[in-house]
Amino acid sequence: MSRLVVISNRVATPTTGAAQAGGLAVAIQAALSERGGIWMGWSGKSTGDHEPGKPVFHEAGRITYALTDLSQTDLDEYYAGFANSVLWPLCHYRMDLTDYARKDMAGYFRVNRFFARQLQPLLQDDDLIWVQDYHLIPMAAELRQMGVKNRLGFFLHIPWPPPDVFFALPVYDTILRGLTAFDLLGFQTRFDAENFASCLEREGIGRALGDGRFEAYGHSFRVGVFPIGIDTAQFAKLAEEAIHKVSFRRIEKSFRERDLIVGVDRLDYSKGLTHRIEAFDKFIAANPAYQGRATLLQITPKSRSEVQQYSAMQRQVAELAGQVNGRHGTLDWVPIRYVNRSVNQAVLAGIYRMAQVGLVTPLRDGMNLVAKEYVAAQAPENPGVLVLSRFAGSARQLDGAIIVNPYDVEAVANAIAKALSMPLEARRERWESMMPHLLENDISKWCRDFLDALRQEGVAVS
Stretch that binds ligand ADQ, among 31-39, 73-81, 245-253, 261-269 (CB under 6 A): 261-269
- Tell me which of 26, 28, 63, 264 binds ligand ADQ, using CB under 6 A: 264
Q: In whole angstroms, how close is the CB of 450 to ligand ADQ at the nearest point? A: 12
Shortest separation between residue 88's beta carbon and ligand ADQ, angstroms? 9
Could you tell me which stretch among 58-66, 241-249, 259-267, 418-426 binds ligand ADQ (CB under 6 A)? 259-267
Q: Report in angstroms how near the CB of residue 399 gets to ligand ADQ at its nearest.
A: 18
**Smallest separation, CB 362 to ligand ADQ (Å):** 8
Handedness of CA 314, 69, 78, 205 (dihedral sign): negative
Residue 437 has, within 13 A of its CA and on its CB side, a CA count of 17
Site for ligand ADQ in 8-27 (CB under 6 A): 22
Please identify which of the residues 157, 219, 275, 328 carries the catalytic annotation: 157
Active site residue 328: no
Figure out which of the listed residues 199, 367, 395, 434 binds ligand ADQ, where binding follows CB under 6 A. 367
Q: Which is nearer to ligand ADQ, 3 or 271 (CB)?
A: 271
Active site residue 96: no
Q: Which stretch binds ligand ADQ (CB under 6 A): 207-215, 364-372, 416-424, 426-434?
A: 364-372
- Is residue 137 a contact partner of residue 182, using CB atoms and an 8 Å limit? no
HSE (CB half, 13 Å, CA atoms) of 154?
Answer: 24
Q: Does 368 bind ligand ADQ (CB under 6 A)?
A: yes
Q: How far is the CB of 329 from ligand ADQ (least distance, A)?
A: 23
Among 80, 90, 277, 299, binds ligand ADQ (CB under 6 A): 299
Letters for 226-255 (x = contact with ligand ADQ by CB under 6 A, - = none) are --x---------------------------
Contact between 417 and ligand ADQ by CB under 6 A: the answer reads no
- 157 neighbors 366 (Cβ within 8 angstroms): yes
Scored b (16 or more CB within 10 A) or e, 3-33 reads bbbbbbbebbbeeeeeeebbbbbbbbbebbe
The answer to whether residue 157 forms part of the interface with ligand ADQ (CB under 6 A) is yes
Give strand ranges (E) for 133-239: 151-155, 184-187, 206-210, 213-216, 219-225
**For helices 246-254 and 345-354, angle between their N-to-C axes, nearest 10 degrees:** 40
Among 41, 227, 229, 366, the residue binding ligand ADQ under the rule CB under 6 A is: 366
**Residue 266 touching ligand ADQ (CB under 6 A):** yes
Indicate the residue among 142 and 265 with the shorter CB distance to ligand ADQ.
265
Supply the minimum distance, in Å, between the C-beta of residue 47 and ligand ADQ: 26
Beta bridge partners of 357: 261, 385
E-strand ranges in 275-406 read 294-299, 336-339, 357-360, 385-389, 402-404
Query: What does the alpha-carbon distance between residue 128 and residue 1 come to, in Å, rounded to a whole number?
Result: 10
Selected from 90, 348, 377, 404, the binder of ligand ADQ by CB under 6 A is 348
Total number of residues binding ligand ADQ (CB under 6 A)? 19
Contact 406, 389 (CB under 8 A): yes
CB of 301 to ligand ADQ, least distance (A): 4
Q: Does 313 bind ligand ADQ (CB under 6 A)?
A: no
The Cα–Cα gap between 313 and 303 comes to 11
Nearest approach, Cβ of residue 83 and ligand ADQ (Å)? 13
Residues 152 and 27: beta-carbon distance below 8 Å: no
For position 370 contacting ligand ADQ by CB under 6 A, the verdict is yes
* Binds ligand ADQ by CB under 6 A, chosen from 373, 376, 384, 460: 373
Q: Measured between alpha carbons, how far is 254 from 343 in angstroms, rounded to an integer?
A: 16
Indicate whether 353 belongs to the interface with ligand ADQ (CB under 6 A). Answer: no
Nearer to ligand ADQ, 188 or 414 (CB): 188
452 close to 184: Cβ distance less than 8 angstroms? no
What distance in Å separates the CA atoms of residue 63 and residue 4, rounded to the nearest whole number? 9
Amino acid at 106: A
Which listed residue (342, 405, 444, 462) binds ligand ADQ by CB under 6 A? 342
3-class SS at 375? helix
Q: What is the DSSP pairing of strand 128-132 with strand 4-10?
A: parallel
d(CA 26, CA 29): 5
Residue 37 backbone zone (phi > 0: left; psi -120 to 50: alpha; other: beta):
left
Q: How far apart are CA 123 and CA 108, in angstroms?
A: 23
Binding site for ligand ADQ (CB under 6 A): 22, 157-158, 228, 264-266, 299, 301, 342-343, 348, 365-370, 373
Tell me which residues are annotated as active site: 157, 365
